[in-house]
Amino acid sequence: MTPAPSHYDLLIHGGTVIDGTKAPRFIADIGVIDGHIAAIGKLDGCTADRTLDATGRIVAPGFIDSHTHDDQAVLSQAAMPFKVSQGVTTVVAGNCGISAAPLRADMELPMPLSLIDSPAEGRFTTFKAYLDALRATPSSVNVAAMIGHSTLRALTMGDLDRPANEAEIAAMQAHVEEAMQAGAIGLSTGTFYPPAVKATTEEIIEVSRPLSKRSAVYVTHMRDEGDRVMEALEETFAIGRALDIPVVISHHKVMNAQNFGRSKVTLPFIKETMKHQCVSLDCYPYTAGSTMIRTDRGMLEGRVLIASSEPHPECAGRDLADIAKEWGVPNDEAARKLQPGSAIYFMMDEDDVQRVMAFDETMIGSDGIPLGDKPHPRLWGTFPRVLGHYSRDIGLFPLETAVWKMTGLTARNFGLHGRGTLKVGQHADIVIFDAATIRDAANYETPTKPAEGIDAVIVNGTITWHHGVHSGARSGQVITRRDKATAEAS
Judge whether 419 lies within some domain: no
**How many structural domains compose the chain?**
3
Instruction: Decide if 2 is inside a domain.
Output: no
- Kindly give the parts of the chain with pLDDT less than 50: 484-490
Same-domain pairing of 224 and 351: yes
pLDDT at residue 483, rounded to an integer: 56
For 199-244, the three-class secondary structure string (H helix, E strand, C coil) is CCHHHHHHHCHHHHHHCCEEEEECCCCCCCHHHHHHHHHHHHHHHC
Cβ contacts of residue 275 below 8 Å, gap of 6+? none
Query: Is 1 within the bounds of a domain?
Result: no
What does DSSP say about strands 26-33 and 36-41: parallel, antiparallel, or unpaired? antiparallel
**Which residue(s) pair with 90 in the sheet?**
64, 142
183 and 273 assigned to the same domain: yes
Which residues 6+ apart lie within 8 Å of 382 measured at CB? 65, 86, 284, 285, 364, 365, 366, 368, 440
Pairing of strands 247-249, 279-283: parallel
What digits encode the pLDDT tens for the residues 240-263? 999 999 999 999 999 999 999 999
CB distance 24 to 400 below 8 Å = yes
CATH number, domain with residue 28:
2.30.40.10
Strand pairing partners for 15?
28
Residue 169 lies in a domain: yes
* pLDDT score of 371: 87
Residues 67 and 90 in one domain: yes
Residues 328 and 205 in one domain: no
Q: What is the pLDDT of residues 338-376, one digit of tens each?
A: 999 999 999 999 999 999 999 999 999 999 999 888 999
Rounded Cα–Cα distance for residues 176 and 171 (Å)? 9
Domain presence at residue 184: yes
List Cβ neighbours of 385 (8 Å cut-off, separation of 6 or more): 285, 286, 378, 439, 440
- In angstroms, how far is CA 185 from the centroid of its own chain? 13
Residue 72: CATH number of its domain: 3.20.20.140
CA angle 477, 482, 483 (to 5 degrees): 155
pTM value is 0.96
Same domain, 167 and 301: no
User: In this structure, are strands 63-65 and 7-17 parallel, antiparallel, or unpaired?
Assistant: unpaired
**Pair 332, 273 in one domain:** no
Amino acid at position 378, single letter: R
Same domain, 225 and 173: yes
Last residue of a domain, one of 308, 330, 345: 345
Quick one: 88 and 69 in the same domain? Answer: yes
pLDDT at 117: 66
Please state, as a whole number, how many other Cβ atoms lie within 10 Å of the Cβ of residue 63. 33
pLDDT at 301: 87
- Asked if residue 359 is part of any domain, the answer here is yes
Pick the last residue of a domain from 414, 435, 456: 414
Residue 205: the pLDDT is 98
Closest CA to 367 of 291, 309, 302: 291
Classified as helix, coil or strand, 375 is coil
Q: Are residues 47 and 139 in the same domain?
A: no
Whether 101 and 420 have beta carbons less than 8 Å apart is answered as: no
Domain termination site, one of 359, 392, 414: 414
256: in domain: yes
Do 458 and 351 lie in a common domain? no
Return the exposure string of 180-208: e unless at least 16 CB atoms fall within 10 Å of the residue's CB, then b. Answer: bebbbbbbbbbbbbbbbebbeeebbbbbb
8-state DSSP, 282: E
Quick one: pLDDT at residue 120? Answer: 60
Radius of gyration of the chain (CA): 22
Looking up residue 318, the CATH number of its domain turns out to be 3.30.1490.130
Of 92, 116, 175, the C-alpha closest to 480 is 92
Sign of CA dihedral 289, 363, 75, 422: positive
Domain co-membership, 263 together with 248: yes
Q: Note whether residue 362 is domain-resident.
A: yes
Residue 370 lies in domain: 63-292+346-414
Residues in contact with 14: Cβ distance below 8 Å, sequence separation at least 6, in sequence order: 27, 29, 53, 54, 55
DSSP one-letter string for 150-172: HHHHHHH-S--SS---HHHHHHH
Both 71 and 55 in one domain: the answer is no
